[in-house]
């Protein structure tokens, strides 16, 4: 059954080579990898593999015969394997197109048991970053490969010849930092598919921060991180300086009525009843309005997942008959649990202004870093040799 699942995944990807396939099962997941090859003559020339295969391995790290998966559409130099059942997998081979041929590289079998990735049901795993250095083949092999390439130039309607690239032992890198780069690189390409949820869930699990938003066109620079006692933020809103208090910050939209506040409630504050009580109160407030339907949802705040809900309130100015003149105000409140209490992020605006501001609010939340900034590193002390000896 597992062999059939891998075969179906490979067949589906072959039939649709440019569009990411949707998940075929809740248990199927993604495998990511990056394979680069440097040229033999021009070391600065780099080729990124666009196709690869993996083999499933057993508990001892040995390949399981017949258990093989083929990659599908990749993005930004990364290889993606779709609809792979859970298990342990290792890179088998990778290839790239160049000069009328397809060149293949293969990681050595030695220590293969140290390079496997574990794919959990419905998850995503990173196979690693492989960097190969090419070697010049022997003269006879070089001439034979050149002849095969020239024959393909004369018959471009035929399949490219597959040529084994002679390389040394590749450099291999894995770990949370490399996996985060891979997830961010393929995320945009997977938008509109169910795989985007899988990638987002793994980024949250890794605690990965969003790349800093940049400013400028010719030489874009990351926006500066503004450090406050309880959090750090980037000025993606461009609403001016916030009002500061001991518990948080507040911004008001220039020329509008929208307000954004972010504050922290400590566990020792009077009336603090804990996370469960705060989340239940948020759900109750959302249910007070029929059009809000009382639903809560997940919102990413920095590297953490928060619980959000919207409430709608109808306000009647004083001295005006009820129903003759109303002001509709929408509030989105997001709670984020913290070891020392709860962070609250809130957007409040008139209904007509609210929807226009929500995208900027969400982008702002992604750039937040909750918690006190890390302590500054102590300046390095240079050793000074004492002066020994008498005067002139």
Q: Which residue has the tokens 């989105």?
A: 332
Instruction: Tell me how crowded residue 279 is: count the other CB atoms within 10 A of its CB.
Output: 16
Give the model confidence (pLDDT) of 300-309 as tens digits.
899 888 999 9
Domain segments of the chain: what residues? 2-206, 221-370
Give the whole-angstrom CA distance, residue 52 versus residue 56: 14
Average pLDDT, rounded, for the chain: 83
Is pLDDT above 80 for 325? no
Q: What is the pLDDT of residue 88?
A: 93
> Six-digit token pair at 127?
């196979």
Task: Count CB atoms within 10 A of the CB of residue 190.
Answer: 21
If one compares 356 and 215, the residue with the highest pLDDT of the two is 356
Mean per-residue pLDDT, 343-352? 95
As separate numbers, helices (DSSP H) first and strands (DSSP E) second, the chain gives 6, 24
pLDDT in tens, 157-180: 767 777 777 777 888 999 999 999
Q: What pLDDT does 136 receive?
A: 64
Is the pLDDT confidence value at 241 over 70? yes
pLDDT of residue 214: 85
Sorting pLDDT into bands at 50, 70 and 90, what band is 291? Answer: low
The winner for highest mean pLDDT among 57-66, 140-149, 225-234 is 225-234
| Residues 99, 160 contacting (CB under 8 angstroms) | no
Q: Reply yes or no on whether the pLDDT at 4 is more than 50.
A: no
Pairwise CA distance, residues 206 & 275, whole Å: 22
Q: What percent of the chain has pLDDT over 70?
A: 81
- Is the predicted pLDDT of residue 249 greater than 70, yes or no? yes
> Quick count: other Cβ atoms within 10 Å of Cβ 259?
17
Q: pLDDT, tens digit, for every residue of 49-104?
A: 999 999 998 887 788 887 788 999 999 999 999 999 999 999 999 998 887 778 88
Fold of the domain built from segment(s) 221-370: Jelly Rolls (2.60.120)
β-pairing, 124-133 vs 162-164, is unpaired
pTM flag (> 0.85):
no
DSSP state of 190: G
Distances (CA, A) of 186 to 28, 32, 89, 179: 18, 9, 20, 11
């Amino acid at each position: 059954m597992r062999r059939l699942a891998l075969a179906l995944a490979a067949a589906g990807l072959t039939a649709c080579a440019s569009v990411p396939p949707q998940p075929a099962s809740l248990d199927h997941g993604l495998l990511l990898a990056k394979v680069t090859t440097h040229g033999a003559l021009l070391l600065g020339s780099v080729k990124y593999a666009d196709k690869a295969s993996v083999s499933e391995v057993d508990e001892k790290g040995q390949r399981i015969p017949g258990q093989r998966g083929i990659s599908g559409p990749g993005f930004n130099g990364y290889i993606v394997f779709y609809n792979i059942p859970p298990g342990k997998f290792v890179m088998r081979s990778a290839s790239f197109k160049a000069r009328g041929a397809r060149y293949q590289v293969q990681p050595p079998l030695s220590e293969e048991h140290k390079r496997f990735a574990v794919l959990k049901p419905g998850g995503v795993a990173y196979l690693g970053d492989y960097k190969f250095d090419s070697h010049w083949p022997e003269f006879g092999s070089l001439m034979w490969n050149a002849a095969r390439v020239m024959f393909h130039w004369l018959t471009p309607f035929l399949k490219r010849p597959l040529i084994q690239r002679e390389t040394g032992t590749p450099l291999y890198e894995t770990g949370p930092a490399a996996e985060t780069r891979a997830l961010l690189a393929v995320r945009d390409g997977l938008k509109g598919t169910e795989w985007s949820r899988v990638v987002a869930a793994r980024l949250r699990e890794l605690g990965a921060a969003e790349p800093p938003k940049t400013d400028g066109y010719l030489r874009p620079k990351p926006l500066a991180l503004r450090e406050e006692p309880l959090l750090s933020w980037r000025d993606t809103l461009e609403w001016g300086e916030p009002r500061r208090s001991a518990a948080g910050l507040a911004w008001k939209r220039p020329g509008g009525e929208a307000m954004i506040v972010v504050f922290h409630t400590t566990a020792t504050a009077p009336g603090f009843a804990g996370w469960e009580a705060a989340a239940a109160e948020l759900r109750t407030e959302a249910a007070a309005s029929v059009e809000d339907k009382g639903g809560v949802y997940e919102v990413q705040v920095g590297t953490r997942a928060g619980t959000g809900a919207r409430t709608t309130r109808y306000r009647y100015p004083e001295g005006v008959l009820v129903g003759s003149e109303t002001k509709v105000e929408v509030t989105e409140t997001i709670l984020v649990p913290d070891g020392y209490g709860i962070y609250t992020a809130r957007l409040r605006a008139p209904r007509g202004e609210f929807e226009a501001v929500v995208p900027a609010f969400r982008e702002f939340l992604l750039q937040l870093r909750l918690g006190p900034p890390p302590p500054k590193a102590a300046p390095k002390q240079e050793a000074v040799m004492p002066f020994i000896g008498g005067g002139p």
